[in-house]
Amino acid sequence: MPRFAANLGFLFPEHEFLDRFARARAAGFSAVEFATPYPYEPRRLAQALRDNGLECILMNLPMGDRARGDYGIACRPERGDEFRDGVRRAIEYARALRCPRMNCIAGVAREGEDRAKLRDTLVENMGYAAAEFKRAGLELLMEPLNDRDVPGFLVPRNRDVVKLLRDIGADNMGLQFDLYHTSMMGDDPAALFDELRPWIRHVQFADAPGRGEPGTGHVPLEKLFAHLDARGYTGWVSAEYKPTRRTEETLSSFMT
């Protein structure tokens, strides 16, 4: 089976965030990820990792203000300075937490906006971020979000992201392949994984629809995990689902 990691933004929601590290360790995880470390001082997060013998494998760049409708700011022409400040802040956290890679969420195109202009902005910003990350010895990923959950998301499909990565041409960039978002777009995760394998650096999962634990939707996650193994994927596979009951009660379907 794959190497499973826990997304602490989703799992163990009945506990305060800083308490979830110990819960993840007790449940058998050796690695964690989370989207938004920025409300916490880097030293506190680093201490939580050390105290529980955990590796931090992924975080996101700052994504803006969700209350304002932000799902990333990398494509927004009016927020270039904010994006660059976020790159610097992300590198600070990555170094403190010894996290080897960060994920970028592109952002949303509003009704009537020029999507080509937004894409040009995204390419420019990602090129800047990739260069800064290269100097810091870090990897930069990009994840598509399905446009059913996030209407107007600029790059909702994995092929959209890969085309963008090709256009940028940075060797420290890759695709974050999310089985949930892929399924929500109506694509075949196994076939797409095979097609895009050279670009894939990280995998996340949840069942669909509903984004619950395995067995709550129609995605054949057990078969997909076996498919990743059969194709020789050795990277992390992160549980990024919304538990429908206590997290510990949802783990038996994939943690052995």
List the catalytic residues. 143, 240
* DSSP output for 145-213: --TTTSTTBS--SHHHHHHHHHHH--TTEEEEEEHHHHHHTT--HHHHHHHHGGGEEEEEE--TTT--S
DSSP state of 108: B
* CA 194 remoteness from chain centre: 19
Distance CA 219, CA 247 (A): 19
Q: Which residues pair with 216 in a beta bridge?
A: none
Q: Which of 145, 133, 123, 144 is nearest to 99 (CA)?
A: 133
63 neighbors 90 (Cβ within 8 angstroms): no
Distance CA 32, CA 80 (A): 30
